[in-house]
Chains A and B, each alone.
Chain A
Amino acid sequence: MIVIGVVSIGGMAMERVHAPEATASLRDLSPDVPLLDVEGATKFFGPVKALVNGSITMFAGEAHALLGENGAGKSTLVKILAGVHQADGGHVRINGEPVHFSNPIAAREAGISVIYQEPTLFPDLTIAENIFMGRHPLRSGKRIDRAEMMRRADEVFARLGVPLSPGRLARGLSVADQQIVEIAKAISFNAKIIIMDEPTAALTDVEVQRLFDVVKTLRGEGAGVMFISHRLEEVFEMCQRVTIMRDGAFVRTAPIEEITIDDVIFSMVGRDIVSLYGEHQRSPGAEVLAVEHLTREGVFTDVSFRVRAGEIVALAGLVGAGRTEVARGIFGIDKVDAGSVSVGGVKLKGGSPLQAMSAGMGFVPEDRRQQGLVMEMSIDSNAALASITSLSRFGIIRKSSERKLASEWAARLQLKFGRFANPVMTLSGGNQQKVVLAKWLARKPRLLIIDEPTRGIDIGTKSEVHRLLGELVEQGIAVLMISSEMPEVLGVADRILVLHEGRLVAEFARDEADEASIMRAAAGQMKGEAR
């Protein structure tokens, strides 16, 4: 799966791709009333605006691409349509009728089916049983009518033109076949709106082609197919129109023949990265972290790099390239099989976070709720969690010291909170992240590892966190940052290391880095260069 946002299209040719058969037929297929019409849908998670203005109009017989960076609000919109989330505002209409889904079953009954990237079939049941799960055809005595079930499953596959045997167990089916089974399931529900979330990410070229054929069949039967993908060539090959979202809001909808890949990218990014982060020039000091030939069998291999005091080094790469795993290895959470980690020239024995912490490391993990905070504990206890021993006298925690630590860092980080005794889960995502930062900064670390520093944080707090990172390195702390957001990587880091399939494949200085070259390296296109 390609997740580096905009970057996922960085490596491809930037000229227009023509969709051969798509254009002419569109007007004929679309009646006046759209099949699906979403207007101004909003969704808030606490103070975080996941969706500000979700709008999309889809006609029967249309394949419609929904595009945007990570965090643009695509998934939230899809989850509203799937009945998983309920919108806080806006309208959803199907064939002109307003609808509201309080749960996924309601959405399915209204004719919406979502096919997720990772299909969820019951592996020990047959394909036919999976398709008709929960509504098997019955004969007298409430017994499942197996023959009827097989016949109807056969019929669906014949319609799709896919030779799958309904009697086969789902276990061992390829991802592509599993998707087909999900599509068959959708059809058997008479779904009119089929939403595919990154369906081609795990497919081979042949399988992608087969999927396109199936989509064509669905369109021919009057269904609308919503297609979410980072692979723009496929979008231009398969879809008739595209809708682009950015920062939770609708940007534009255009017929495919009136837009180029460049237009799409510009609409998706829509901002000037340098102006957002400002220019900065840093002069790093002594080496703080030295990673030598770090290897964890099957996860990452022979990773060596250094981080100096007063610089921010970013680890970039696709999801699954092993970025977080390398960080965990450095911090002693996972055991490594070979290689070494030194802090300030002293080799760590490794194997436990405690070791790394006493050497002066701090680790702000990716998953705030599971790894960074104890959600039900108070704000001050969370801030003090990593320094609790030093806040005790004769083995008894001094509550006053704990409170002092919390209030000092709350003030420095501009924490917005009610009372220190409140559980940390009452805070917004951004303020929770500040508590995690406080927890580590209170230990006065020499090196801070920070994994996805601004995930799930509103834009305002995001830039506060970025400024904070800048201030930290000015004070001589070394920062190793992992981020999937390319603007963040390019805007914040002084050096960028790129991982591909567990190996370091490239290193860029701040002024020589751009999205396209990082993306090329992350996709494994420049092995042996640049290092």
Chain B
Amino acid sequence: MTTLEANALPELVEEPRTLQSSLRAAVRWETGLVVLFVVSLIYGWSVTPYFLNMETFFFAGLNFGEVAIMALPMTLIIITGEIDLSVASMLGLSASTLGYLFTHGWNIWLAMGVCLLVGIAGGALNGVLVTRLGLPSIAVTIGTLTLYRGLALIVLGSNTAVGFPAWTNKLSLPIGGTHVAYDFAIFVVLAVIFGVALHMTPLGRSIYAIGLQPETAYFSGIRVKRIKFLLYVVSGFLCAFAGILYTFQQASSASDTGLGLELNVVAIALFGGVSIFGGRGTIIGVVLSVAVFASLQSSLTGINVSAQAQSIVTGCLLLLSVLIPNGIEMTARARARLRHRAVQEA
């Protein structure tokens, strides 16, 4: 029956795609996010007539740019089954370093270069602790969350660094002739790069394999540790980069820059359908999640809901993103059980 002779191959037929299977393929997390995004737009428009104009779009992009950028490497890290909670502290450390160096007379470009190096070093430290010492990433990055924030405090103390060159101000304005925020544009470019990397390259395939079955990945010649390490370095680098953007947008930096943002980053990734258990998630889901969050926040701000109350919405969305997939799985299992019982009784 089995034969390795290629010329004796029998005709091979795949099962036809059924309407049911096509429908099932269409029912996925991302579809839900599209619907939710449209609903949130309609809601925003119904409560504030100014909602659907380009200003709103610009400010939403400006507000969410850094968090969205940090959510991209976070997505990849979570898919491998790890996490990086030090992202916002890294952003703060980068901002503080930039402020310190610049106010101490450094050339702004040189200072930015140092910030990016600090980001790479911070990411590498996370990576070494997780991959070489085999420590759990949640513990490691809670540690470095505090560590990097503490370093930021040492670097800049309680000072606020201001007086950056005039050109940096441009980053808080739309790109000339459009209503697109710079950091939003950068996010879109990065999202495309990350999307290609995750969904179309051997690296991306490896990332999924690591998250789903780490041993199989290793047994198949995938360099599990090296890939995880690389992702932490990329995360550190992009967080430092986001720190620079943030500083220029705000035209100031302090040691508490970006305090607590890591939770928003994780929330966006999870709400985008990235499984906290690893192995599942898409970049398009995360992009849609950013859109939903931004749109909701804009409409809530439009009707003067306070920032504190908005965090309740964020929290609820986060809980839903964990609850709904679980609920779906439980119903599926219950239905399978019922079917099984019906078959037995028949």
Q: Are A377 and B4 in contact (CB under 8 A)?
A: no
**Is residue B6 contacting chain A, with contact meaning CB distance below 8 A?**
yes
- With A370-B213, A388-B205 already in contact, the answer to whether A468 and B219 are too (CB < 8 A) is no
Report yes or no: A397 in contact with B201, Cβ–Cβ below 8 A.
yes
Q: Is the C-beta of A185 less than 8 angstroms from some C-beta in chain B?
A: no
User: Once the chains are docked, how many angstroms separate the CA of A365 from the CA of B212?
Assistant: 17
Q: A370-B213, A374-B213, A396-B196 are in contact. Are A365 and B219 (CB under 8 A)?
A: yes
User: Which residues on the A side are within 8 Å of B279 (C-beta)?
Assistant: 376
| B312 beta carbon closer than 8 Å to chain A | no
B221:A386 contact, CB within 8 angstroms: yes
Q: Which residues of B contact A392 (CB under 8 A)?
A: 201-202
Contact A410 B1 (CB under 8 A): no
The answer for the CA separation of A386 and B205 in the assembled complex, in Å, is: 11
B10 within 8 A of A: yes
Evaluate contact between B2 and A397: CB separation under 8 angstroms.
Answer: no
Secondary structure class of chain A's binding surface, majority of residues: helix
Interface assignment of B17: CB less than 8 Å from any CB of chain A = yes
Q: Scoring A residues 361 to 373 as 1 if CB is less than 8 Å from chain B, else 0, what string do you get?
A: 0010101011111
* Minimum C-beta distance from A415 to chain B (A): 9
Partner of B10, one of A373, A375, A381, A411: A411
Residue contact B202 to A414, C-beta cutoff 8 Å: no
Q: Contact check: which of A369, A374, A396, A465 meets B217 at CB < 8 Å? A: A374
* Cα separation A300 to B217 with both chains bound (whole Å): 25
In the complex, are the beta carbons of A418 and B202 less than 8 A apart?
A: no
Q: Which residues of B in the span 205-227 have a Cβ within 8 Å of any Cβ on A?
A: 205-206, 208-209, 212-213, 215-223
For A407, list chain B residues within 8 Å (CB).
Answer: 12
- Is A333's CB under 8 angstroms from B201's CB? no
| A367 vs B216: C-alpha distance when bound (angstroms) | 9
A414 contacts B2, CB within 8 Å? yes
Chain B residue with minimal CB distance to A357?
A: B221
User: A439–B212 contact, CB under 8 A?
Assistant: no
Q: How far is the CA of A250 from the CA of B1 in the complex (A)?
A: 30
Residue in B12, B202, B208, B220 whose beta carbon sits within 8 Å of that of A353 in the complex: B220
User: Does A347 belong to the interface (CB within 8 Å)?
Assistant: no
Contacting pair A397 B200 (CB below 8 A): yes
Is the beta-carbon distance between A385 and B4 smaller than 8 angstroms? no
Among A374, A386, A467, A475, the one with the most B-chain Cβ atoms within 10 Å of its Cβ is A374
Beta-carbon contacts of A179-196 to B below 8 Å, as 1s and 0s?
000000000000000000
A468 in complex: contacting residue of B2, B17, B196, CB < 8 Å: B2
Least Cβ distance of A125 to chain B in Å?
A: 28
For the complex formed, measure the closest distance between the CB of B24 and the CB atoms of chain A, giving whole angstroms.
12
* Chain B interface category by residue count: 20 to 34
Using CB atoms, name the residue of chain A closest to B199.
A397
Considering residues B2, B12, B217, B279, which has the most beta carbons from chain A within 10 angstroms of its beta carbon? B2
Residue of A nearest to B25 (CB): A421
Whether A411 pairs with B216 at a CB distance below 8 angstroms is no
Residues on B with beta carbons closer than 8 Å to the beta carbon of A25? none
Tell me if A1 is interfacial: C-beta within 8 Å of chain B: no
Expressed in whole angstroms, the Cα–Cα distance for A418 and B148 within the complex equals 51
B9 within 8 A of A: yes
Shortest CB-to-CB span from B112 to chain A, Å, is 29
In the complex, chain A residues whose CB is within 8 Å of the CB of B200: 396-397
Considering the chains assembled together, what is the distance between the CA atoms of A125 and B212 in angstroms? 37
The one of B17, B208, B219 in contact with A371, judged by C-beta atoms closer than 8 angstroms, is B219
The one of A363, A439, A472 that contacts B4, using a Cβ cutoff of 8 Å = A472
B306 interface residue per 8 A CB criterion = no
- Contact residues in A for B201 (Cβ distance below 8 Å): 392, 395-397
Q: Is the CB of A464 within 8 A of B2?
A: yes
- Is A464 touching B221 in the complex (CB atoms < 8 A)? no
Whether A395 contacts B208 by the Cβ 8 Å rule is no
Contact of A374 among B2, B15, B196, B208 (CB under 8 A): B208
- In the complex, A412→B9 CA distance in Å? 6
B3 within 8 A of A: yes
| CB–CB B216/A354 < 8 A | no
**Shortest Cβ gap from A333 to chain B (Å):** 7
B14 contacts the other chain (CB 8 A): yes
Q: Is the CB of B1 within 8 A of A376?
A: no
What is the CA–CA distance of A365 and B2 in the complex, to the nearest angstrom?
21
A-side contacts of B215, CB under 8 Å: 367, 370-371
In the bound assembly, the distance between CA atoms of A333 and B222 in angstroms comes to 12
B16's nearest neighbour on chain A, judged by CB, is A419
Which residue of A354, A386, A396, A411 is within 8 Å of B12 (Cβ)? A411
Given A374-B208, A377-B209, A411-B10, do A395 and B202 touch, yes or no (CB 8 Å)?
yes
**A418 vs B21: C-alpha distance in the bound complex, in angstroms?**
12
Interface residues of A in 333-368 (CB under 8 A from B): 333, 352-354, 357, 363, 365, 367
Minimum CB–CB distance for A432 against chain B, Å: 12
Contacts A333-B219, A412-B9 given; indicate if A376 touches B202 (C-beta within 8 A). no
Q: Are A397 and B205 in contact (CB under 8 A)?
A: yes
Nearest B residue to A390, CB-CB: B202
Whether B9 contacts A376 by the Cβ 8 Å rule is: no
- B208 in complex: contacting residue of A354, A363, A377, A468, CB < 8 Å: A377
Question: Which chain A residue lies CB-closest to B205?
Answer: A388
A397 to B208, CA, bound (A): 14
Does A420 make an interface contact (CB < 8 A)? Answer: yes
Given contacts A411-B12, A412-B9, A419-B17, contact A353 B221 (CB under 8 A): yes
> Are A372 and B14 also in contact (CB < 8 A) when A467-B1, A471-B3 are?
no
List of B residues within 8 angstroms of A412 by Cβ: 2-4, 6, 9
> Which residues of chain A (447-498) have a CB below 8 Å from chain B?
464-465, 467-468, 471-472, 475
Q: Which residues of A contact B280 (CB under 8 A)?
A: 376
Whose C-beta in chain A lies nearest to the C-beta of B219?
A371
In the complex, the chain A residue whose C-beta lies closest to that of B5 is A412
For residue A369, which residues in chain B have a CB less than 8 angstroms away from its CB?
213
A363 CB, min distance to chain B CBs, angstroms: 6
B60 → chain A closest CB, angstroms: 32
Q: How many Å from the CB of A209 to the closest CB on chain B?
A: 43
CB closest residue in chain A, given B14: A419
Residue of A nearest to B203 (CB): A395
Residue contact A372 to B219, C-beta cutoff 8 Å? yes
Q: Which of B9-38 contact A (CB under 8 A)?
A: 9-10, 12, 14-15, 17, 21
- The answer to the question of A174 belonging to the interface, with a C-beta cut-off of 8 Å to chain B, is no
CA–CA, A467 and B4, complex, Å: 11
Separation in Å of the B173 CB from the closest CB of chain A?
36
B14 touches which of A357, A374, A418 (Cβ 8 Å): A418
Q: Are A363 and B219 in contact (CB under 8 A)?
A: yes
Query: Is the beta-carbon distance between B220 and A471 smaller than 8 angstroms?
Result: no
CB distance from B343 to the nearest CB of A (A): 10
Chain A residues with CB below 8 A from B209, complex form: 374, 377, 385
- Complex contacts, B202 vs chain A, CB 8 Å: 388-389, 392, 395, 397
Closest 10 CB pairs of A and B: A411-B12, A418-B15, A411-B9, A388-B202, A374-B213, A468-B2, A354-B221, A357-B221, A374-B212, A386-B220
Give 18 pairs: A residue, B residue, CB < 8 Å, sorted on A. A352-B221, A353-B221, A354-B223, A363-B219, A371-B215, A371-B216, A371-B219, A373-B213, A373-B216, A374-B212, A374-B217, A385-B216, A388-B202, A388-B206, A395-B202, A414-B10, A468-B2, A471-B3
With A386-B220, A407-B12 known, 20 other A-B pairs at CB within 8 A are A333-B219, A352-B223, A353-B218, A371-B213, A374-B212, A375-B212, A375-B213, A377-B212, A385-B220, A392-B201, A395-B201, A397-B205, A411-B12, A412-B2, A414-B1, A414-B2, A419-B15, A419-B21, A467-B2, A468-B4
Which B residues are within 8 Å of any A CB, using their own CB? 1-4, 6, 9-10, 12, 14-15, 17, 21, 196, 200-202, 205-206, 208-209, 212-213, 215-223, 279-280
